[in-house]
Structure 1
Amino acid sequence: MDLKFEVVVLPVSDVDRSKNFYESLGFRMDVDNTFSDDYRLVHLTPPGSQCSIIFGKGTISATPGSAQGLYLIVSDVEQARAELVDRGVEVSEVFHDAGGLLHHGHEAGDAVHSGAGQERLSGPHPDRTSYASYATFSDPDGNGWVLQEITERQPGR
């Protein structure tokens, strides 16, 4: 069986504000259709991605801003962060996790989460190990995105 992860539906409060935000990040506009007064669908794709986002009016019942841990994979987290900042996005400083490779759910501004080895340290991972350097940002509703630097994939990926 061939399964492809294609789309994430984001809960937003203002469709046009969200559309403008994601287009300002360079996301490609795929669809913007209004089907009725109660249903509008906006579909955008990040540059280089095979997975897209959808939001709109009447598309999801989740609370706006409740989507968290949405990963955008980049080859250079510092460069990606700088480009987003140049586009007017408030992005956390680049950080790495004291425990090593895996991100432990750090939201922008959090210094430490409970549990050993889950400390957010300033700057990219000292060895620039793949999967180990991050930056975070949110859309206008608070949906949380993570930039993760990957320069070499794990075997089988």
Structure 2
Amino acid sequence: MDSKLEAVVVPVTDVDRTRHFYRALGFRLDVDEATRDGLRVVQLTPPSSVCSIIIGTGITPATPGSFRGQLTVPDLEAARAELLARGASPSAVIRCRTGCDAVTFDDPDGNQWLLVEGAPLS
């Protein structure tokens, strides 16, 4: 079966606050739709990514702050500096068990992202 991961759901408590956080990091806003029955879906895509995140209300029973994700960047130090400049609080560079260097940062709910350096993005 051929397949592509299109989106992952990130559980949050305050959709607008989290939307603002990811937009400040440069994520593209793809969708922000609400229905009368309280469902709201916000889809955001990291720069150069084909996979998006979805935040909202009424879309997941997962606990806010329980999500763990990974982003691959071509230059870890540059990515860390950009996160700082855009208002995030990245960790110092750490060494992973697999031998790679990485940086972590949390969104406003404590959902954690691991940034690892990888091949240039195409």
Normalised by the length of structure 2, the TM-score is 0.94
**Within 5 Å, which residues of 2 pair with 1:82-121?**
82-97=81-96, 99-101=97-99
**1:29 paired residue number:** 29
Moved over 4 A (4+): none
Output the CA distance in 2 between the equivalents of 1:46 and 1:81. Answer: 15
Q: Secondary structure at the match of 1:12?
A: coil
Structure-1 separation of matches of 2:103 and 2:36: 38
1:79 aligned residue:
78
Q: Which runs of 5+ in 2 are unaligned?
A: none
The count of corresponding residues between Structure 1 and Structure 2 is 120
Based on CA coordinates, which of the two structures has the bigger radius of gyration? Answer: 1
* Aligned residue among 95, 103, 107 for 1:139: 107
Structure 1 position 10 matched with structure 2 position 10: yes
The root-mean-square deviation of aligned C-alpha atoms, in Å, is 1.2
Separation of aligned partners in 1, 2:36 and 2:46: 27
Residues 100 and 66 of structure 1: CA distance in aligned 2, closer, same or farther (over 3 Å) = closer
Equivalent AA in structure 2 for residue 81 of structure 1: R
Deviation at 1:95, TM superposition (A): 1.4
Residue 36 of structure 1 deviates from its aligned partner by: 1.9
Distance 1:2 1:134, change over 3 A: same
Distance 2:98 2:106 in 1: 24
CA distance in 1: counterparts of 2:33 and 2:53, whole angstroms: 14
Gaps of 5+ in 1: 102-131, 153-157
Bigger RCO of structures 1 and 2 (CA < 8 A, at least 6 apart): 2
Which SS does the other structure have where 1:80 is aligned? helix
